[in-house]
Structure 1
Amino acid sequence: MADLDRGAEPSSWTFKLSAGSFHKLSALLTLALLIFAFSFGNAAFFSINNGLTVLLQTSVIGLLGIGMTMVIITGGIDLSVGSVLALSGTITGLSIKAGVPVGPAMAIGVMAGAACGFVNGFVITKMRITPFVATLGMMLIARGVALQLTGAAPISRLGESFGLLGNGSLFRIVEKTGGIFPKVVFPGIPYPVILLAVVALAAAYLLRRRQIGRHIYATGSNEEAARLSGVLVDRTKIFAYVLSGALAGLAGNVLMSRLVTVQPNEGVMYELDAIAAAVIGGASLMGGVGNISGTMIGAAIIGVLRNGLNMAGVSAFIQQIVIGVIVILAVYVDQIRNRR
């Protein structure tokens, strides 16, 4: 336990971390190549407005991916984040309709997501049900609750302040032209992008500098050895799932705020995007390996890929095929890394 508290890492982790760094560099090179290829094919791709659009699209995937990375490092998986996203957004919308101010209502939505994560962690650790089955059940439950609460109908007329988080920006510069609409000199940095950056930095600090972060890595690397070293394995797993659920709730607020309407059907297949971002960024499905910076690169790859393919006129179905192939290749590379 003392070694873990001091941040000492077993020698077996050294190779995993170096291999993970190589995987992250490969992902970064892939991202650079994608940006070059799409900007070469379409000059509008490299514009400031399109770049901000990509960042906005990446923000939701990134928030989900950070929580997913925590869970994957412990050796688990969370298939419920897309449905929890929808349920949290629904809870936020209903709270606003009930007269709760926007800020507290969003906090209630995040807490609802954290509660779903706690249930996942409890079922996995105390009932000894595999993460795949437990979170699959939560995926169905959360989606069903969201649809039942709303009657599968959207919740609208939530006020302008509800759309501020998803559509507002910092350092926005406009110039009055005398017409109806002012000229936008600089669109500003979107709030979701700033939020993602803050959450990513906080999560990276937690993983690398705090005791709970070392325990997360220890649990995923060798659960039995971690338990014998004094790590509270069950509590560590529950913490990871609670964090994943809370970030899914936060992502739900961001997405619904962008739409300025609560849609209980949103978030379908988002869990696969979150898993893809983590795996592409170097997280190992075997547990014990992963980092936030790699996940951010993976989320950016998915965002750039989808944006570039959209601008090229490629159908959404083909995009799913492409991303699916990339995920399989990323997992295959991870398997080769583990064998070595």
Structure 2
Amino acid sequence: MASDKFSPSPSSSGLGAWLPALFMALLSVSLMAVDARFGLGPVIRAYTSELASPVWWLASRPKALLQGGIDAMNTNAALHERVTRLERERLRSDLALQRLIALQAENAELRVLLKVQTERAPGSRAVELVNVNPEPSLKRLVIGAGRRQNVRVGQVVIDAGGLVGQVSEVYPSSAVVIAITDADHAVPVMVARSGFRAILFGQGNDNRLSLANLTPSDDIKAGDVLLTSGLGGRFPPGIPVGVVKTFRQDPALTFLSAQVQPFARTGYGRHLLLLDAVPAAPAAAAAAPPAASAPATPKPAVAEAKP
């Protein structure tokens, strides 16, 4: 029985199997000949590489992304460490700068005090301010010199601007200074321009003093400079105290009061000048009573006070 399927002969099937191989061999030889003759190989390879570059790029992305993530983490850690180190260095630099500014301010203050000591108060010495009374109305200062440094009650304290106060209490290594701005302190003063004398009272305020019981006929006006008058023997004469700012009428319309701004800046600086000479105490206050066996009249303290 005849079959309806086609069965190729053995010879035809063998030649058909070799035709593709022969074609590829001929094509290869032809391309080699063309490449050797015209140099097309580099051009073809260049175009082929350009066409294949997206494939290479996609194939390399996972590794590149992984390495990029690792590098980014390492970079962030290094940057964080560097920022922390720089922050510490900045804080140290700021602290050193603040110390330098403080030293410069202290040196400037000491230079001014040295100039005042040389020109206006040769008999004085610099003392350090170590404490301030926290009570607002009590203007008491503590200096770092006391009985061991020959500090005595009544010694006058000044700064580069003018009168600060006087020593009221003395301890072995420190002393208390009552400032002229204390509410319980009073200073005999005189107007530098006219010579008018008055009593200047503290108000418990570092920036304000008061002249009370003034009359319209008193020769004093705004802008007048007040100096210590030397009356009473408590303060040496001629020390700058303050300047008159404004006047105020009392409610009784009888007297005037003047507001005075002190020259001394008790709220600033760390050093003051202590006058070595203790002013003589007032004769009326320091006179001693006569002894029972000696009816002689008492001598005033002015004659007995040591310079």
TM-score interval for Structure 1 and Structure 2 normalised by the shorter chain:
under 0.3
Task: Please report the TM-score for the alignment, with normalisation by the length of structure 2.
Answer: 0.21
More helix by share: 1
State the structure with more CA Rg.
2
Task: Please report the TM-score for the alignment, with normalisation by the length of structure 1.
Answer: 0.19
Which of structures 1 and 2 has the larger relative contact order (alpha carbons within 8 angstroms, sep 6+)?
1
